[in-house]
Chains A and B, each alone.
Chain A
């Protein structure tokens, strides 16, 4: 029998988290379905604002562009929120099930734990977004520029990496604050929603919020996807989105891992890994 190379062993171990979470999603399918309905309802409610805009403003105009604008925001946010939640809630979920100590004492690198949670986050985010896309396409007859699909995919892939970094940072909160850490991740998610221009251009925000919005990867993902799907994609638009996303990813992923390792040490020093009582 060939001895397993450590890195290959760690990669295989990270699959354990994906498989486990897929099993859990299947067993909680009722809740997943309810959450999908919630996301579709929320997304459709936002897109209907565009549909209703001519009658609300009493100005006749072609709302097709506005519908697409909001639909892209709703779909992109559905993916990013799914990815963010899957990563950020990984610790809280295990603490709730009472299994966190068993995962943390397994002979794997902490990176493997994080990688597994992130891989599932991507799968989960994509699956949820596919459901929302189908629903919105049926409801609003969405028809985007098909030439922009591949550049949009590239932006989503690079953007996912930088978003993963923020998700890992958020996952440290339940390690630091055993009782309210998970709720604090929702605060981060809401702030990202506010500053990233999900449903409106960042230019409408106050100047100081606009300045902060440059730090959010979601800002570049949304701007980039809209540029390539709503107009004629150019190489400079794609590069303009991908480069800042790559830079943010290079910073947030190592920073997130560093924070997670520090938080794990803090939890092991203070006895907060498992919530007692």
Chain B
């Protein structure tokens, strides 16, 4: 009897350890927008239901940089918002370090932060004022935050002299760096990066990419990154998934995906990630930019 109990205990410890190592567990998650409303007036056209995320299942391990690639409207941003507790899933469950995003939203929010494609800052406020606001919301001591803000922005290439200037006077790249600093200031264990380098100049892009890698190395952070930039995904991500019309069409390490593509199309040089993307989605990134739709 005691032996069986020991086995149960051992199994429980193992299960917990696995849960801790598993930073993110997305299980059969779907999200729809639109569809018939409860209050439907006779002159209104019934709204079509759009499937933004369609039965997605994936796991991200602690310390991993996991990439989600997809065209506009493929469901990347919706997926990020579902994890960030900004949207409720219509089906499935999402866990962050074993915590359910619906049932334990408050605890989940303490663990994560997000950087989106827009900097989303109060434009009239300075970087310092924006970041102190964020720090207070995350219970970071204001005095400590003031020191950290100068340090983090400095590491991102923003001189101290610019820290107290209104954000509206900064370039788009600098604003995005302030947004990244806002996320880092709260020491998230899971960082959701939704196309963080889109629209940045090459130098700013490099700075941000370098910082993402440092974040993982020095702070043991887990990163979920969505990107349009195949080279960026190739260079940064340990594993990645390609999303098409809300579904994961392929998943693996960048090398695995390229090798699978090469094997499928005969021998030859290893293809680029963009070749893989075009093959599995049936469209190029140029198509994506021309025919982009709202996500």
Contacts and interface: CB of A to CB of B under 8 A. Distances in A.
Interface stretch (B115-123, B153-161, B215-223, B227-235): B115-123
Interface in B236-295: 294-295
Contacts of A23: 122, 125, 129
Interface string A97-111: 111011111111100
A188 B286 CA distance: 48
Residue with the greatest number of chain B CB neighbours at <10 A, chosen from A15, A23, A103, A265: A23
Interface in A86-117: 97-99, 101-109
A20 B86 contact: no
Interface stretch (A44-52, A191-199, A267-275): A267-275
B138 interface: yes
A16 interface: yes
A12 interface: yes
Nearest to B82: A268
B137 interface: yes
Interface string B3-22: 00000000000000000000
A97 B86 contact: no
B88 A269 contact: yes
B206 interface: no
Contacts of A105: 84-86, 109, 113-114
A20 B125 contact: yes
A13 interface: yes
A97 to B, nearest CB: 5
Interface in A228-277: 265, 268-271, 273-274, 276-277
B294 A277 contact: yes
B87 A271 contact: yes
B199 interface: no
Contacts of B87: 268-269, 271, 273
A101 B133 contact: no
B166 interface: yes
Interface in B124-141: 124-125, 129, 132-134, 136-139
Interface in B60-91: 78, 81, 84-88
A20 B120 contact: no
Given A13-B136, A13-B139, A269-B88, A102 B120 contact: yes
A273 B139 contact: no
Nearest to B84: A105
A27 B125 contact: yes
Interface in A1-35: 4, 9, 12-13, 15-16, 19-20, 23-24, 27-28
A20 B122 contact: yes
A106 B129 contact: no
B139 A102 contact: no
A99 B114 CA distance: 12
A259 B192 CA distance: 30
A273 B120 contact: no
A27 B124 contact: yes
Given A20-B129, A276-B294, A277-B294, A106 B122 contact: no
A116 to B, nearest CB: 9
Contacts of A108: 137
A23 B136 CA distance: 14
A214 B258 CA distance: 72
B46 interface: no
A97 B125 CA distance: 11
A97 B123 contact: yes
Interface string B160-172: 0000001000000
A101 B182 CA distance: 13
Nearest to A106: B137
B106 interface: yes
Given A27-B125, A265-B88, 14 more contacts: A20-B133, A98-B121, A101-B84, A101-B116, A103-B137, A104-B86, A106-B137, A107-B138, A107-B139, A108-B137, A268-B85, A273-B86, A276-B294, A276-B295
24 contacts: A9-B139, A12-B136, A13-B139, A20-B133, A23-B129, A24-B124, A27-B125, A97-B120, A98-B120, A99-B120, A101-B116, A101-B120, A102-B134, A105-B85, A105-B86, A106-B134, A108-B137, A268-B85, A269-B87, A271-B87, A273-B86, A273-B87, A274-B86, A277-B294
Q: Which 7 A-B pairs have the closest CB atoms?
A: A16-B136, A106-B137, A27-B124, A107-B109, A107-B110, A98-B120, A20-B133
